[in-house]
Chain A
Amino acid sequence: MLDNLMLLFVWAPVMNVQMILEGVFIGAVFALGAYGLALVWGVMNVKNLAQGDFIIMGGYLAFSMHQMGIHPLLALPIVIAFMFMYGWVVYLAIIKRVIDQDMFVSLLATFGLSLLMQQVLNLIYGPEVQIIDSHLPVYDAFDGFVTIPAVKLVSLGLAAGLALVVVIFMKTSRTGQAIRATAQDPRAARVLGIDTNRIYAFTFALNAAICGAAGVLVSVIWVIQPFYGIVYSVRSFAIVTAAGLGNLPAVIGTGFGLGLIEQYTGIILGAEYQVAAAVVMLLTVLIWRQIQMRRNRQVVR
């Protein structure tokens, strides 16, 4: 561990550049997934544990199209459209019925969905780890100390563009306004003539589409496997809970932050601690907030 720290900060500080870049590339995917979760959680109070499986499903759709000869970056709009429809169907079949229930119910129902999706993907594609080779060049910097694959740059740009489109859509369009109105007060929104049921369906479908897009990016810059979904779900939850619901800039920021934290834990403590990093971050934030709140709390002892 000390050796790793020395390597990073004394012997080859230029490695930090590589770490930060990797963290940012991966953080972009985390941020997209967490943004979708924050949207669904905030608007309809549904905690979607199948978030990571939507991401992996998007990745596999791109993988299928890659096998048919379509470049993954061209497949992106098709995947988005398909996942949007899929999200709508899931809403009608499952989410619609748990939306006004106890909060825990949505957690479990979507867990069942997650189990179902990962197993069906496993039956179709098999448990092997898959990757899409995008045939884009790899750039070197700092005498070969830092390598930047072009595909990661492209995907970072796409993620940023996508996030921007969603934010502008939410701010300016009529549907975006309706979504925000429903999130504030569904009853008042209904009184004012907004079809909240439709808005819920649209929000959930939008979330699925965002996840699908994130999945395409994962499949080109990283690897996909049917059972990796749960890790993305846990990360999305950690990010949204740590950043605070309804604070979208913080959600995006925490997404990038988690990317960096995971990279640094991976290199300093070892790769086996990388998965635990998100969970430890979540627990730290939850405990820290409680210590902060403690002085306001008066209890019977």
Chain B
Amino acid sequence: MSSNTLLLYIGIVVSAVAGPLIFPEYTQQMAVLWVMILMASTWDTLGGQMGYNSLGNITFFGAGMYISAIIQIAMFYDVAEYTASFGAIKPEFTDEQYFTGLALGIVGGGIGALILSLFFSLFMFGLRGPYFAIGTLGLAVAAGQLTGTIDYIGGGAGISMPFFPGDIEVRSVFFYGLCFVLAALAHILLRWLYSTQFGLAINAIRDDEDKAEAMGIPTLVYKQVGWGSAALFMGMIGAVFGNMVGFIEPVEVAFPAPTFGIFMVAMALLGGKGTLWGPVLGAFLFHVIKEATWTYLLGWQWVALGLILIINIVYFQQGIMGWLQTRYPEKFGITVDTSDRDDADAKAGA
């Protein structure tokens, strides 16, 4: 790790800690920023590095959210009874009950999402290109619709989560911390994964899957590991997000395919897909633009987002990191091989 990168990490950690201390009223927005960074980074494992554009990663987010809600409630109460009252009866959870439930819920949400991704991978990875994108989008939409029909977990009316024992300020800082830790863990895992043979293998799948397979790479296993790691983190952050929002509901909160499901793709593209830092940068910019339009252009915020998406994709496709890499290749340790070009020139001259 070079000293510049180290400084960057120190700067990020310092601002992450200082953020809620300096601007306590924006803690929730900053927590959502970490959620978005995690979403964009884990999307990029498949979308950017492996060339499998999934529009359905949000499925794991919602799955983690619901699994953790069930675990948290079922440990101490009857779930059907709890959800049937639509939040009217709020059983008191003791501190210990709440935190053990939450911890198990987060882990359970992550593992549940991981298992779900392994199951989906059995049939989804036979699809390629746009069919994979449409198929996964279908998964996300179907998951939202079908969850809404199960009365056991509240159906379309949703579940209101157990109360956090403690002050509202402590609550928001607590969930901010959880979001930050998960995003940081995901980043460290991905950074390590991309530096190993795994990174090379999934890049090979992106460049030419058939050739990669012919070279003896067990492509299905690599695809499963890639999607599984994304699903694990999406499930865990889903569990945290559900508790942070306090009320979960299938279409808008748990499986928001047309909003967050697409935002994570837009963020990765804005920053530059296929790079480690691109999604992080993209998520940061996107979130700032989104919050600014929400505040200053109320009523027009979605129009602005649509325009940003179009301009980004139509006119500025490589993203910020991609643009920087082509502009200053030497800063990224990329050596541009000009020997071919010289040969061609020589031939043209001769």
Of B123, B135, B313, which is within 8 A of A112 by CB? B313
Most buried by A among B219, B314, B315: B314
Query: Is A241 in the interface zone, CB < 8 Å from B?
Result: yes
Task: Tell me the chain B residues, 125-171 only, with Cβ under 8 Å from chain A.
Answer: 126-127, 129-131, 133-135, 137-139, 141-142, 145-146, 148-149, 156
State whether the Cβ of B23 lies closer than 8 Å to any Cβ in chain A: no
Contact of A283 among B142, B220, B312 (CB under 8 A): B142
Smallest distance from the beta carbon of A279 to chain B beta carbons, Å?
A: 4
Judge if B24 is at the interface, Cβ distance under 8 Å. Answer: no
A10 contacts which chain B residues (CB < 8 A)? Answer: none
> Which single member of B258, B300, B306 contacts A230 (CB below 8 Å)?
B258
Tell me, yes or no, whether B86 is within 8 Å of chain A by CB: no
Shortest C-beta distance, A44 to chain B (Å), equals: 13
10 closest A-B pairs by beta carbon, nearest first, are A112-B309, A116-B306, A115-B306, A112-B310, A276-B145, A290-B126, A119-B302, A279-B142, A279-B138, A104-B53
Q: How far is the CA of A287 from the CA of B120 in the complex (A)?
A: 11
CB-nearest residue of chain B to A108: B313
- A243-301 contacts to B, CB under 8 A, are 270, 272-273, 275-276, 279-280, 282-283, 286-287, 290, 293-294, 299-301
At the interface, yes or no: B240 with Cβ under 8 Å from chain A?
no
Q: Which residues from A are CB-within-8-Å of B134? A: 47, 237, 241, 282
> Total contacts A to B, CB within 8 angstroms?
115
Q: Which residues of B contact A70 (CB under 8 A)?
A: none
B interface residues, Cβ below 8 angstroms from A: 53, 123, 126-127, 129-131, 133-135, 137-139, 141-142, 145-146, 148-149, 156, 213, 216-220, 258, 262, 265-266, 269, 299-300, 302-303, 305-310, 312-315, 317
Chain A residues, Cβ within 8 Å of B265: 108
Contact of B142 among A97, A104, A241, A280 (CB under 8 A): A280
Which residues of the partner chain A approach B299 to less than 8 Å between Cβ atoms? 123
A129 sits at the interface (CB 8 A): no
Q: Is the beta-carbon distance between B269 and A108 smaller than 8 angstroms?
A: yes
Contact status B142-A276, CB under 8 Å: yes
A94 and B139 form a contact (CB under 8 A): no
CB-contacts of A97-124 with B (<8 A) = 97-98, 101, 103-105, 107-109, 111-120, 122-123
Residues of B within 8 A of A234 (CB): 137-138, 141
Closest to A290 in B: B126
Are A241 and B131 neighbours in the complex by a CB distance under 8 Å? yes
Given contacts A94-B314, A299-B213, contact A286 B135 (CB under 8 A): yes
Q: How far is the CA of A286 from the CA of B146 in the complex (A)?
A: 19
Task: Check A104/B130 contact, CB under 8 A, given A123-B299, A282-B138.
Answer: yes
Is A38 in contact with chain B by the CB < 8 A criterion?
Answer: no
A62 within 8 A of B: no
Given contacts A47-B130, A108-B262, 11 further A-B contacts (CB under 8 A): A94-B314, A104-B133, A108-B265, A113-B306, A122-B302, A234-B141, A241-B134, A282-B138, A283-B139, A286-B135, A300-B213
Query: Complex formed: what's the CA distance from A47 to B133 in Å?
Result: 11
Please indicate which of the listed interface residues A104, A105, A120, A230 has the most CB atoms of chain B within 10 Å of its own CB. A104
Q: Is the CB of B127 within 8 A of A290?
A: yes
- Which residues of the other chain, B, contact A57 by a CB distance below 8 angstroms? none
What residues of A have a CB within 8 angstroms of the CB of B302 in the complex?
Answer: 115, 118-119, 122
A98 to B141 alpha-carbon distance, docked (Å): 26
